[in-house]
Amino acid sequence: MNAPLRVGLWAETLKLRRSRLPLLTVLAMAMAPVLGALLVVAVRDPSGTGALGAKAGALGSADWPGFLGFLVIFDAGGGLLVFGTLTAWMFGREFSDHTAVDLLAVPTPRLATVAAKFLVIAAWSALLTAVVLLVGVPVGVALGLPGWDPGLLARTAGQLAVASGLTVVLVTPFALAASAWRGYLPAMGLMLVVMVVGQVLGQIGVGPWFPWSVPALATGIAAAAVGSIGPQSIVLLLLTSIGGAALTGAWWVVADQQ
């Protein structure tokens, strides 16, 4: 690792550590097991849960397969919201806090700063994914769920890794939006548009052609009607990710000329 990248990583890690975002994102991902627990209660006693009972179908069954499957569903959908918010903040805060000019003036190469931001986002997203299981397994044990299987836990960990890994590489367009439009709100607006469009395209069966639908499809948790991924899905995902990262880097290189 070269010296400029090390400096960039140190600076970006320090910014994240001194913010409230780490705690907020951990709490957001820890909500998955909490919601799963509520759905377990709804499945076990549907007569006493009111509106919650109507949502219990998302769990499937009040056992380990159903509970862990729900965690994967939550991660595939909620991960985009959490990772996207993290990305919007990492890049957009430089404008809301008026520190973008400082970044353009420091001797650290701008591409190293952009790379450091993406690496910190990826590392923290990996830790947030681990939180889902670290909280979920004790919650499941406390609920006394039947059907425990170490193999099932390993498969769930793999599905979570796939969902989060494919999701985090798709946040690069949000970084571009936060940079080009100079703030985190435009990036979050784009993220919400993406989420809505993904839901609509999934309903009409063209999800495999929409990059942000690929993570859920790759885990096998999406409904059969949504479709399954093919080579074009991976190509579109990679083009979106690489294109977003490249354009973000290019924007920062020429930022003071705009």
SS (H, E, C) 111-151: HHHHHHHHHHHHHHHHHHHHHHHHHHHHHHHHHCCCCCCHH
Give the count of beta carbons closer than 10 Å to the beta carbon of residue 258: 7
Q: How far apart are CA 232 and CA 199, in angstroms?
A: 19
* 56 close to 39: Cβ distance less than 8 angstroms: yes
Q: How far apart are CA 62 and CA 60, in angstroms?
A: 7
Q: Which tens digit of pLDDT belongs to each residue from 31-68?
A: 999 998 888 887 776 665 555 555 555 566 788 998 99
Q: Give domain limits for the chain.
A: 3-257
Distances in Å between the Cα of 26 and the Cα atoms of 21, 31, 172 are 8, 9, 21
User: How far is CA 2 from its chain centroid?
Assistant: 28
- Which residues touch 205 (CB under 8 Å, ≥6 apart)? 225, 226, 227
* 93 close to 11: Cβ distance less than 8 angstroms: no
Q: Is the dihedral of CA 235, 178, 118, 194 positive or negative?
A: negative
Q: Which one-letter DSSP state was computed for residue 187?
A: H
Q: How far apart are CA 5 and CA 2, in angstroms?
A: 6
Q: Which tens digit of pLDDT belongs to each residue from 188-197?
A: 999 999 999 9
**Would you write out the chain's pLDDT as a tens digit for each of its 258 residues?**
688 899 999 999 999 999 999 999 999 999 999 998 888 887 776 665 555 555 555 566 788 998 998 899 888 888 999 999 999 999 999 998 888 888 878 888 999 999 999 999 999 999 999 999 999 999 999 999 998 888 899 999 999 999 999 999 999 999 999 999 999 999 999 999 999 998 888 778 788 899 999 998 888 766 544 567 888 999 999 999 999 999 999 999 997 755
* 166 close to 237: Cβ distance less than 8 angstroms: yes
- Which residues touch 130 (CB under 8 Å, ≥6 apart)? none
